[in-house]
Chains A and B, each alone.
Chain A
Amino acid sequence: MSNKMSKRLRIGVLYSRVRVEEKWIFAALERRGLDYERLDDRLVHFDLNDPEPWRQYDAILERSISYNNGLYACRIFNSWNIPTVNSAAVAEACGDKLITSALLARANVPQPDSRVAFTPESALETIDGMGYPVVLKPVVGSWGRLLAKVNDRESAEAIVEHKATLGSVQHSVFYIQEYINKPGRDIRAVVIGDKVITAIYRKSAHWITNTARGGEGELCPVTPELEEICLKAAQAVGGGVLAVDVIEHADRGMLVNEVNHTMEFHTVQPLSGIDIADTIVGYTVNMAVQK
């Protein structure tokens, strides 16, 4: 037996808020009798030259609600060779839609037509070239915030000007996607490691189907087509514990819309009956053992 196996593993859970997902994760850690510590990302601080206080952790499960806090913490942990779920590279790839799209494109994963421009003028030229409607998305952001469906040139001019004038510098990276007239739903698939463990439809009459915006869930069968595209998408961003959001296009089939690295699963877990929290904990333990 290796030293690692004979020693009691210690897991850190970095979090910002105790949402229902974190409660389920803490409960799973306790049921497994694991030694773990809750690390509030508002209270932690790091001396970059002194990793010793953190070496007690064999792995860190990152559940920060803040993309920046989670990403930078993972970068620090990974620089000290402390594994994180997910890795900083995966967090960066998923947390920035531009990077996600670039990696999906490199791996030939079908996705909506996505363009990028850096000035209002070039953004408007790009949008005109794509044709209306299009969707403007912040490269970093979640829960369907600040998505804008742009129906015509006048709206495009207004939104682009507002983003350039009122937004942070990141809003001047114009990420433009074709608008897809999806059938009142999209698909969220949960990928852990090399398995698609379950999937749900997220239904809404609104074009934003995110359940954080009131979309409702319904179990979705994991077909071979769904499994293949989700595993390819997960692999493209580096793999780990991921939620792959898929849009069904009437002609082009399934398209990957985004990949989330700190997924919420308050809708998926009760609908599927699968203990996603425990599966995540199991994955984290494996990561700790392999360190």
Chain B
Amino acid sequence: MNAVTCPECGAEITLDASVETGEIIVCPDCGVDLEVTSLDPATVALAPMEQEDWGE
């Protein structure tokens, strides 16, 4: 099962089959950015906050 719980709001989220470790998803309930930290088992954590030197 690729179901995870949003650590911010507790919503149950089912990960898309194409999601990869390290990808950022958005909680559909509260809108927080979540980083997929593992796929087996599926886990997510609050994504790091944007830093001043981030970009392209």
Contact = CB atoms under 8 A, between A and B. Distances in A.
Contact of B53 (A15, A23, A67, A263): A67
Interface residues of A, number: 27
Interface in B22-41: 22-24, 35
Contact of A23 (B20, B55, B56): B20
A260 to B, nearest CB: 5
A17 interface: yes
Of B20, B23, B53, B56, which is in contact with the most chain A CB atoms at under 10 Å from its CB? B56
A142 B23 contact: no
A264 B20 contact: no
Contacts, number: 52
A49 interface: no
A17 B20 CA distance: 10
Contacts of A263: 56
Contacts of B54: 65-67, 142-143
A23 B24 CA distance: 12
Contacts of A68: 53
A87 interface: no
Contacts of A66: 51, 53-54
A262 B53 contact: no
A141 interface: yes
Interface in A19-56: 19, 22-23, 26, 38, 40
20 contacts: A15-B22, A17-B23, A17-B24, A18-B20, A23-B20, A26-B20, A38-B22, A40-B22, A65-B55, A66-B51, A68-B53, A140-B53, A141-B55, A142-B54, A142-B56, A145-B55, A168-B52, A212-B55, A212-B56, A263-B56
